[in-house]
Structure 1
């Protein structure tokens, strides 16, 4: 059964959202300020990293690591100027 999980964080004044669709194949979509900037698929038990770019001047590279676990997916946001931090779930 497929299920969608939503996560969100803010960084440098920009909104970063991730949607993880679980099932046999895990689909990860990442939006920055409402625009899709990253997409990846993986098997159920393999974590996946999606590299994104924040529209700062100059652009800032960042990444979102998604791992589907037995108790639901976990998503971590990483940027070079900040410690990695978990993205909290966002109910829809």
Structure 2
């Protein structure tokens, strides 16, 4: 049975959201400022999706989703420093 989980963070004045669907496959959809900018599907327990923030010049970031155990988790990794930033779960 699949479930959808939602995560969100703000970085450099931009909204980054991820929908993570768990089940037989891990499906991740990433939105930046409300527009879909990345999508990935895997049978593994983790997936990364590379996207860019619309700064000048564009800022490359990666969203990493992990299926579990338990509830999934999602982090934003900025390419410039490599530091992971936790994305907060959203209850909708």
**Aligned position for 1:28:** 28
- Using the size of structure 1 for normalisation, the TM-score is 0.93
The TM-score, its normalising length taken from structure 2, stands at: 0.93
Partner of 2:68: 69
| 1:1-92 → structure 2 map (5 Å cutoff) | 1-43=1-43, 45-79=44-78, 80-81=80-81, 83-92=83-92
What RMSD in Å do the two structures reach over aligned CA positions?
Answer: 1.2
| Structure 1 portions without partners, runs of 5+ | none
| 1:83 to partner: Cα distance | 2.4
Kindly indicate whether the alpha-carbon contact (under 8 Å) linking 2:51 and 2:62 is maintained by their aligned counterparts in 1.
yes
> Helix, strand or coil: the match of 1:6?
strand
For structure 2, list consecutive stretches of 5 or more residues without a partner in the other structure: none
Report deviation, 1:81.
4.4
